[in-house]
Amino acid sequence: MASIYMDNHATTRVDPRVLEAMLPFFTTEFGNAASKSHAFGWRAEEAVTRARTQIARLLNADPKEVVFTSGATESNNLALVGAFEAAAGRGEHVITGATEHPAVLDVVARLEARGARVTILPVDRTGLIDPDALRRAITDRTVLVSLMFANNEVGTIHPVAAIGALCKERGVLFHTDAAQAAGKVPVDVQAMGIDLLSLSAHKVYGPKGAGALYVRRKNPRVILEPMLHGGGHERGLRPGTLNVPGIVGLAAALEIARAEMPLEARRLGALRDRLQEGILARVEDVQVNGHPTARLPHNLSLSFAYVEGEALLMALDDVAVSSGSACSSEKKEPSHVLRAMGLSDTQAQTSLRFGLGRFNTEQEVEHVIGRVAEAVARLREISPLYEMARRTTGAQVTRRIPTS
């Protein structure tokens, strides 16, 4: 069997339907959406306007609330830095979570260096924050709460609606990084009380380098200080010539995701469950990381005792998976997400993340189950720690799934 791709949290293959929608805007419809004097520009502008409507439909937002960016990282930066600077004089306190993506944590650290007072909320063993802890953390000087919709490593989904309601009650802006959630699970910025939301095309079978930031226009009207300057594009929030092919691809990807989400979530959830059950049936001493029910349907994070994660990755040479976040995988440190959830450095370093996707099949899942079982068995045969544990404890099977 050819190489199997199960790293869909890192990025996804562009759906052929998305590519088809994009192609004309590289060739025949190549106009600049800011060109108002001819049909090439008008058609490009029409495509961008149509894309805003498609994206807004997924989020239950107004099309005018969609600001195009290069991806979720830029959206996170604009949301956090823009909101903090716009609130100058009214407050300086920012709240986030310990398991956030570096695209949020690094920005928050930068804000702290610029005078922000930062609270980083802990999470429980399943990766959830405590809403009561959030309530206690909010002060009269809090200007922004930024908590991700769904975690990119373990798939845990935060109680977003409850967080949004609490922020509304206290008059604090709520930003969520929804890069992993948008198009995978229902997202409703109105019902969930979301003021700012980041998303990215390449997580939902769209092109790399395209994303968007939802910015609420009323109740409350969110004001952001732009980070870049050089034109009036995107309501003055993001200057530069619009990436029309990328924008069209982002919208097409999210439109497909919106239409197919219920069926796709069930299919991927079933594949994920089969992958989990198959591995647990054939491999002892495995821990499932993340929430048992409040998690993305396509995510599976496992820790394999007595097996180093990097060695297991190398042994699975025909399966593309990850030892954690692709954005920080070059760092050989244990996952900050797993450590925040209470795993030891050793446990964190034995973990793999499987990200199922639209193009994965049942046959591939069965193949991966067998490959993982074979690779773990082979690596444990040469592990002195495993042999020692078997001799001293006589234990055979530990398959722990965290409880809520």
129-161 per-position pLDDT tens digit:
999 999 999 999 999 999 999 999 999 999 999
Q: What is the mean pLDDT of the chain?
A: 93
pLDDT band at residue 7 under the 50/70/90 scheme: very high
H helix or E strand, kind and range, residue 286: strand 286-289
Q: Report DSSP letters for 16-66, one per residue.
A: HHHHHHHGGGTTTT---TT--SSHHHHHHHHHHHHHHHHHHHHHT--GGGE
User: How far apart are the C-alpha atoms of 102 and 321, rounded to whole Å?
Assistant: 20
| DSSP at 322 | B
Q: What is the pLDDT of residues 99-128, one digit of tens each?
A: 999 999 999 999 999 999 999 999 999 999
Please report the pLDDT score of residue 358 as a whole number. Answer: 98
Q: Give yes or no for residue 207 having a pLDDT over 70.
A: yes
Which region among 236-250, 257-271, 284-298 has the lowest average model confidence (pLDDT)? 236-250
For residues 195 and 61, the answer to whether their CB atoms sit within 8 Å is: no
Cα gap 292→404, rounded to integer Å: 7
Clarify whether 167 is annotated catalytic: no
Question: Where, residue-wise, is CATH 3.90.1150.10 in the chain?
Answer: 4-9+261-400
Residue 206 tokens, joined = 């769209």
CATH 1.10.3760.10 for the 4-9+261-400 domain, yes or no? no
Q: How confident is the model at residue 399 (pLDDT cuts 50, 70, 90)?
A: very low
Mean pLDDT computed over 340-353? 94
Q: HSE of 71 in the Cβ direction (CA atoms, 13 Å)?
A: 11
Residue 30 pLDDT > 90, yes or no?
yes
Q: Record the tokens describing residue 176, joined without a space.
A: 């969520």
Global pTM exceeds 0.85: yes
Residue 390 has pLDDT above 50, yes or no: yes
pLDDT digits (tens, 9 = 90+) for 165-192: 999 999 999 999 999 999 999 999 999 9
Q: What is the pLDDT averaged over residues 69-84?
A: 97
Confidence category of residue 398, pLDDT binned at 50, 70, 90 = very low
Beta-strand relationship, 286-289 and 399-400 = parallel
- Average pLDDT over every residue of 3-15: 97
| Amino acid 233: pLDDT | 81
Indicate whether 401 pLDDT > 60: no
DSSP H/E element including 211: strand 211-215
Check if CATH label 3.20.20.80 holds for domain 16-257.
no
Res 389 pLDDT > 50: yes
Place of tokens 């930024």: 146
Mean pLDDT of 315-322: 95
E-assigned strand segments in 91-141: 93-97, 117-121
Would you state the torsion angle of the CA atoms of residues 284, 286, 292, 294, taken in this order, to the nearest 10 degrees? -150
402 — pLDDT class (breaks 50, 70, 90): low
Mean pLDDT for the stretch of residues 310-333 = 78
Residue 326 has pLDDT above 80, yes or no: no
Residues of the chain with CATH 3.40.640.10: 16-257
C-alpha distances in Å from residue 211, one per residue of 178, 258, 287? 11, 16, 34
Rounded Cα gap, residues 106 and 120, in angstroms: 12
Residue 397: predicted pLDDT: 43
Which residues are CB-neighbours of 381 under 8 A, at least 6 positions away? Answer: none
Per the model's pLDDT, the better-predicted residue between 33 and 374 turns out to be 374
Distance CA 249, CA 202 (A): 9
Residue 324 has what pLDDT? 62
Q: Which two tokens stand for residue 170?
A: 């206290």
Lowest mean pLDDT among 27-41, 167-181, 237-251, 321-335: 321-335
Contact (CB, 8 A) for 376 and 312: yes
pLDDT band, very low/low/confident/very high, at 350 (cuts 50, 70, 90): very high
- Contacts of 224-227 spanning 24+ positions with Cβ under 8 A: 224/78, 224/79, 224/82, 224/83, 224/86, 225/81, 225/82, 225/85, 225/86, 226/78, 226/82, 227/77, 227/78, 227/81, 227/82
How high is the pLDDT of residue 403?
Answer: 47
Instruction: Please count the other Cβ atoms lying within 10 Å of the Cβ belonging to residue 334.
Output: 20
Q: Is it the case that residue 235 has pLDDT exceeding 90?
A: no
C-alpha span between 144 and 96 (Å, rounded): 9
C-alpha 4/C-alpha 316 separation (Å) is 10
pLDDT attached to residue 327: 52
**Catalytic residue (one of 228, 327, 377, 388):** 327
Q: pLDDT band for 34, please (50, 70, 90 cuts).
A: confident
